[in-house]
Amino acid sequence: MNDLASFWSYLSEGPLLWLALTLAAYFIGDACFRWSGRRPWVNAVLIAVAILATILWATGTAYGTYFEGAQFVHFLLGPATVSLALPLFDNLARLKRAAVPAIAALIAGSATAAGSAVGIAALLGVGPSELASLAPKSATAPVAIGIAERVGGAPTLTAVLVILTGIVGAVAATPLLNAMGIRDWRARGLAVGIASHGIGTARAFQVNTTAGAFAGLGMALNAVATAFVAPVVLWLFL
Amino acid sequence: MIPALLALLSCQLAGEAIARVLPIPLPGPVFGMLILLCLFIAWRPFAEVLRPVAQGILANLSLLFVPAGVGVVGHMSTLGTQAVALVAAVVISTVLAIAVAAATFVAVAKLTGAGDE
């Protein structure tokens, strides 16, 4: 028993256990997604996060300890963003042909994302600092946090809202766009990337590679657009 | 695999350097992506060097958001008393943004004749 306890304290302090558990939780989440017949609301990220949060809570492990192991996975977000150059390159001719509708969708989507979020929250009585944290939530996390800091928001709250936005977009996109009868993979991917950044883009790659390429483009474009849109939206509502 | 990883990390590194210098609020990896895209355009075979590794990473892109997602659970309390209003705003605005962006793309593509083939 004592041996077991000391083995646990040895393992739980190092990165190995938490890295392995992160991969295991995602494997289970992804298996659930496949077993369900690839239903969009069975989201692998959401399931993995729920499993890991439960384990951390049950073992009384601090997030900092967990992140010692999980950082190896987290680190790959950077190289993964760079890797998006490949689907963009593969679809370059189609992207060029779609430049005008893509810019129109970017302006409309970016303004709707920030404008309706801040408008709804303001109507529901949310305070100015929280509104400033909410405005950039459709941009990819590092950009959103940078914008939130400049417009008087709280970076931690923005990080929470960004991840929530991504999961909502990843879950809602397929049923929503099917219901709207939109079959153009370019439109579907771009919209998901604009509204729900990398998590939406990851979901788009699961569905269709064209959608994935356009989602990556949408994410990159909205990172730029949100920097301009968020301050204007806040100026309108504050 | 090593040349591909080296290329990805080098582009990210160059992107981080550019992000420090330019007064544009974009993260380093996004500049890295643009640098790599320019390299692909300049020298097409380079894309084939990176393809297996880049596709491997992108096929499992969702996994990479798990650690940040776990962090969010711990910070749920930062939503505070306004949690319901903030969650409602996130859900409705995200659904609206997807619908508006997709519908705008389809409408403008039709108007300008920007078909896919």
Q: What is the ipTM of this complex?
A: 0.89
One domain for residues A216 and A100? yes
Q: Yes or no: say if A187 and B40 are a contact pair by the CB < 8 Å rule.
A: no
Domain boundaries, chain B: 1-62, 77-117
B88 close to A (CB below 8 A)? yes
Q: Are A205 and B59 within 8 A, CB to CB?
A: yes
How many CB pairs below 8 Å do chains A and B form together? Answer: 331
Backbone φ and ψ of A14, nearest 5°:
-95, 170
One domain for residues A175 and A126? yes
Which residues of B fall within a CB distance of 8 Å from A160? 72, 75-76, 78-79
Q: How confident is the model at residue B105 (pLDDT cuts 50, 70, 90)?
A: very high
Q: How confident is the model at residue B61 (pLDDT cuts 50, 70, 90)?
A: confident
Position B25 pLDDT exceeds 80:
no
Report the candidate in A64, A43, A63 with the shortest Cα–Cα distance to residue A53: A63
pLDDT at A188: 97
One domain for residues A134 and A154? yes
Task: Give DSSP secondary structure letters for A36-85.
Answer: TTS-TTS-HHHHHHHHHHHHHHHHT--HHHHHHHHHHHHHTHHHHHHHTH
Q: Are A49 and B66 within 8 A, CB to CB?
A: yes
Q: Yes or no: say if A185 and A214 are a contact pair by the CB < 8 Å rule.
A: yes
Q: Are A113 and B96 within 8 A, CB to CB?
A: yes
Contacts of B35 (CB under 8 A, 6+ apart): B11, B14, B15, B18
Q: What percentage of residues in chain B have a pLDDT greater than 90? A: 61
Q: Are B65 and A199 within 8 A, CB to CB?
A: yes
Q: Which residues 12-51 of B are in CB contact (within 8 Å) with A?
A: 12, 15, 24-30, 32-34, 36-37, 40-41, 47, 50-51
Which residues of B fall within a CB distance of 8 Å from A82? 8, 11-12, 15, 29, 32-33, 36
Which residues of A fall within a CB distance of 8 Å from B59? 205
pLDDT at A141: 85
One domain for residues A60 and A18? yes
Give the residue numbers spanning the domain of A13: 2-75
Q: Are B68 and A141 within 8 A, CB to CB?
A: yes
B83 close to A (CB below 8 A)? no
One domain for residues A199 and A222? yes
> According to the 3-state scheme, what is the secondary structure of chain B?
CHHHHHHHHHHHHHHHHHHHHCCCCCCHHHHHHHHHHHHHHHCCHHHHHHHHHHHHHHHCHHHHHHHHHHHHHHCHHHHHHHHHHHHHHHHHHHHHHHHHHHHHHHHHHHHHCCCCC
Q: Give tens-digit pLDDT for B73-86.
A: 877 777 777 889 99
Domain total for chain A?
2
As a whole number, mean pLDDT of residues B59-75 equals 85
pLDDT at B116: 67
Position B117 pLDDT exceeds 60:
no
pLDDT at A147: 87
Q: How far apart are CA B4 and CA A218, in angstroms?
A: 25
Which residues of B fall within a CB distance of 8 Å from A19? none
Q: Are A190 and B101 within 8 A, CB to CB?
A: yes
The mean pLDDT values, 10 residues at a time, for chain A of 238 residues are 80 88 96 89 89 93 90 90 90 89 96 96 92 93 85 87 93 95 95 95 91 92 89 89
Q: Which of A35, A59, A75 is the last residue of a domain?
A: A75
> Chain B closest CA to A7's CA: distance in Å?
24
One domain for residues A111 and A50? no
Q: Are B86 and A134 within 8 A, CB to CB?
A: yes
